[in-house]
Amino acid sequence: MTSSETAKATRVACWQPAWIGGESGRDDFLERLARAAAAAADGGAELLVTPEMSATGYQLGLARTVELAEPADGALADGVREIAVRNRLAIVYGWPELADGGVYNSVQLVGSDGAVAARYRKTHLYGEFDRSVFAPGDRMVVQAKLGSLTVGLLICYDVEFPETVRAHALAGTELLVVPTALVRPWEFVPRTLVAARAFESQLFVAYVNWYGAGPHGYCGLGRVVGPDGVLRAEGPGDAEALFVAEVDRAAIDASRRATPYLLNRRPELYGAAQ
């Protein structure tokens, strides 16, 4: 057996909360996060993934988003770090990041030791709301190590571009974490597109959404999909949920042997498409 085949699988918990709409403050979010983190840790998870803008809610309008924005090392980050250390659990959370004279749609991965392992700013801004409120990030591949597992970060609309996921696969990402705030009628994205992305780039994808009314109705349906395109765990479309999946490096190796897309690429033919 190879070392990857004998390595322990990583348990990943995904929290699909009810939409909060920006009406609750930082302390309320941290209380809700603490409950989810305790439940995830009790279930043996090593990583907890939360939705896009999980600390504030999404589609809040410019004034409210700016009001709730914080720097990456602000009081919100301090609260998340304390929860991570208390539960011995890495956490991915999202918030409006105040930086460089603007606001970014950001996610941050905090390790179980409380250290910030990675921060990603959404690069592909969707629609008038995103473009009128946020500055775009300029780094597409952001990664961190979780034990021996390489974790990459994207946000929502980013995953709908095959180039972003393929770039992660080529850079060595094994688990691609995608916090999202997806509304109806776009259920096609989690049900079909996320599985296609996982399969064509042969990595795990954890896609984690809100559920609830919101401005248009968040559709839930968060999920973890394996590198073979097979669903490993999913959230419902109509309820808060915490669901757990195992991410196994051996499954990635098996998928890449069975369907060697990455090995069989011919980038010299792709030109601008590569």
Residue 216 confidence (pLDDT): 73
In the predicted model, what is the mean pLDDT of residues 172-189? 96
Strands (DSSP E) along 147-216, which ranges?
149-153, 175-179, 204-208, 211-212
Which of 229, 208, 220 shows the shortest CA–CA distance to 48? 208
Is residue 129 scored above 90 in pLDDT? no
CA dihedral sign of residues 217, 152, 123, 225: negative
How do residues 202-219 score in pLDDT, each as one tens digit? Answer: 999 999 999 987 667 999
pLDDT band at 26, cuts 50/70/90?
confident
Q: Is 156 among the catalytic positions?
A: yes
What rounded mean pLDDT belongs to the chain?
93
Q: How far is CA 128 from CA 45, 82, 125, 131, 133, in A?
A: 37, 35, 9, 5, 8
- The Cα 163–Cα 273 span in angstroms is 9
Third-level CATH fold of 10-262: Nitrilase/N-carbamoyl-D-aminoacid amidohydrolase (3.60.110)
- The Cα 42–Cα 38 span in angstroms is 6
In the predicted model, what is the mean pLDDT of residues 236-256? 95
Q: Which of 14, 46, 52, 70 does the annotation list as catalytic?
A: 52
Q: Is 122 among the catalytic positions?
A: yes
Which of 162, 159, 201 shows the shortest CA–CA distance to 181? 159
pLDDT band at 25, cuts 50/70/90?
confident
Q: Which of 46, 156, 160, 234 does the annotation list as catalytic?
A: 156
- The Cα 203–Cα 226 span in angstroms is 6
- The Cα 274–Cα 270 span in angstroms is 5
Q: Which of 14, 46, 97, 122 does the annotation list as catalytic?
A: 122
Query: Please, which residues have CB within 8 angstroms of residue 264's CB and are 6 or more apart in sequence?
Result: none
